[in-house]
């Protein structure tokens, strides 16, 4: 895991979902948020404690901190 970006639990689960859907980088995972938001997986992945907005903000912080080309397996 990167020392600069430690995703919150809901973000981590969302990044794992994106990785399983084929995303290789943090930027690709961010680009998949709309697909995730429209999927039936949101409730299963996020549960009731997290929101898409919080995940988006957390990933945006990661993009600013470690960059969009950071490999997801370095973050997960």
Residue boundaries of the structural domains of the chain: 9-75
The pLDDT assigned to 44 comes to: 94
Q: How far is the CA of 1 from the CAs of 7, 28, 50, 70, in angstroms?
A: 9, 18, 21, 11
Q: What is the pTM for the complete model shown? A: 0.92
Token pair 């969302």 is at which residue? Answer: 14
pLDDT digits (tens, 9 = 90+) for 18-76: 999 999 999 999 999 999 999 999 999 998 889 999 999 999 999 999 999 999 999 99
Q: For residue 12, is pLDDT > 50?
A: yes
The pLDDT assigned to 1 comes to: 46
């Amino acid at each position: 895991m990167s020392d600069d970006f430690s995703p919150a639990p809901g973000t981590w689960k969302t990044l794992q979902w994106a990785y399983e859907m084929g995303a290789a980088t943090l930027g690709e995972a961010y680009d998949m948020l709309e697909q995730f938001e429209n999927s039936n997986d949101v409730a299963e992945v996020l549960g009731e404690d997290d929101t898409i907005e919080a995940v988006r903000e957390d990933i945006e912080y990661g993009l600013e901190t470690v960059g969009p080309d950071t490999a997801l397996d370095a973050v997960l």
